[in-house]
Amino acid sequence: MSTIAFIGLGIMGGPMARHLVEAGHRVIGFNRSSEPVERLAAAGGEGATSVADAVRDAEVTITVVPDSPDVESLALGEDGIYANARQGSIHIDMSSIRPDVAARLAEAGKAAGVRVMDAPVSGGETGAIEGTLSVMVGAEREDFDEVKPILETMGTTVVLVGPPGSGQTVKAANQLIVAGTIELVAEAIVFLRAYGVDTEAAVAVLAGGLAGSRILERKAANMLAGNFEPGFRIDLHHKDMGIVTAAARERDVAIPLGALTAQLVGAVRAQGDGKLDHSALLKGVERLSGRKPLGGG
């Protein structure tokens, strides 16, 4: 069993860290607020008072934080991971950040004697709780092989997709597909309601055909009920759509539908719904259609 520092114990990180504890690892948690650390300790983990304190004895450090600057601030500097982690240890960043930042962090870690990989996830809060996340890993093959059993504690699909930075590129593609699919599901629901169709029955039959998707399975029921309790916030998906549109532009890749979806995500956020689940794209379609959004607003 490994000693693992886990930094970022929020909606995703909290359950992921608890799976590692349940698997028998020694997990030392750190978070900006103390309550998640206390929950981890109650589940059998340990708490740290700083990043340096968390990583000092760890063979593996895992970070799950919102954005590129958050990871950089944790990794770099005198109080950061690379200045305080054990030589030869591994830093697995499971946040969703820019691919170029992930590649730069891998170089910075290498210079400090820390092996760095990016391993963003898909599956949302439900996947984190159930331990069924899809993990897309950018790493050197030998480093991946070493930590794959740890990653499989948190996810059922764990795949090496290329060198450092590649995981974040695949995650950007994932977020492009997810946002576009949610938008189309939202448009379909508003369309069905406009014709007075039994939407629950309609979703059930759509899910059994070619239109079926994980989005319909996991999001449609709450969308129909107007329940947008966050599993993955609009704010974070807005950030991710910025990543994929910028990355596509850098390589001269046309993503016309993705660019439009990014604008729709941004519009819902600008209307005050950034803290809601990304399925709240439904509210944007309802507003555009002149209909009162479910869930208020």
CA-to-CA dists, residue 88 to 113, 116, 151, 160, angstroms:
6, 10, 18, 20
295 found inside a domain:
no
| Amino acid letter, 62 | I
pLDDT computed for residue 275 by the predictor:
97
Both 116 and 245 in a single domain? no
83 found inside a domain:
yes
Both 20 and 86 in a single domain? yes
Both 87 and 11 in a single domain? yes
Structure token digits, residue 29:
């948690």
Rounded-to-10 torsion of CA 122, 156, 129, 4:
-90
**Reported pTM:** 0.92
Q: Which residues pair with 233 in a beta bridge?
A: 277
Last residue of a domain, one of 162, 188, 206: 162
126 found inside a domain:
yes
Last residue of a domain, one of 104, 129, 162: 162
Q: What is the CATH number of the domain that holds 14?
A: 3.40.50.720
Domain residues for 85? 3-162
Both 102 and 138 in a single domain? yes
pLDDT computed for residue 231 by the predictor:
86
Both 188 and 120 in a single domain? no
pLDDT computed for residue 293 by the predictor:
78
296 found inside a domain:
no
11 found inside a domain:
yes
Both 193 and 158 in a single domain? no
Last residue of a domain, one of 162, 184, 205: 162
Asked if 60 contacts 2 with a C-beta cutoff of 8 angstroms, the reply is: yes
C-alpha 220/C-alpha 118 separation (Å) is 30
pLDDT computed for residue 103 by the predictor:
96
Both 107 and 177 in a single domain? no
| Amino acid letter, 156 | T
297 found inside a domain:
no
CA 166, 172, 178, 180 dihedral sign is: negative
pLDDT tens, residue order, the chain (297 aa): 899 999 999 999 999 999 999 999 999 999 999 999 999 999 999 999 999 999 999 999 999 999 999 999 999 989 999 999 999 999 999 999 999 999 999 999 999 999 999 999 999 899 999 999 999 999 999 999 999 999 999 999 999 999 999 999 999 999 999 999 999 999 999 999 999 999 999 999 999 999 999 999 999 999 999 999 998 999 999 999 999 999 999 999 999 999 999 999 999 999 999 999 999 999 999 999 999 876 655
Q: What is the CATH number of the domain that holds 221?
A: 1.10.1040.10
Structure token digits, residue 115:
């092996």
Number of domains in the chain: 2
**Catalytic residue list contains 171:** yes
**Token pair 């240890």 in the structure block, residue:** 89
294 found inside a domain:
no
pLDDT computed for residue 296 by the predictor:
54
Catalytic residue (one of 110, 171, 275, 283): 171
Helix (H, G, I), strand (E, B) or coil at 294: coil
Both 157 and 23 in a single domain? yes
Both 152 and 174 in a single domain? no
Both 41 and 125 in a single domain? yes
Backbone phi and psi for residue 160, each to the nearest 5 degrees, phi listed first: -80, 120
Both 228 and 151 in a single domain? no
Both 24 and 154 in a single domain? yes
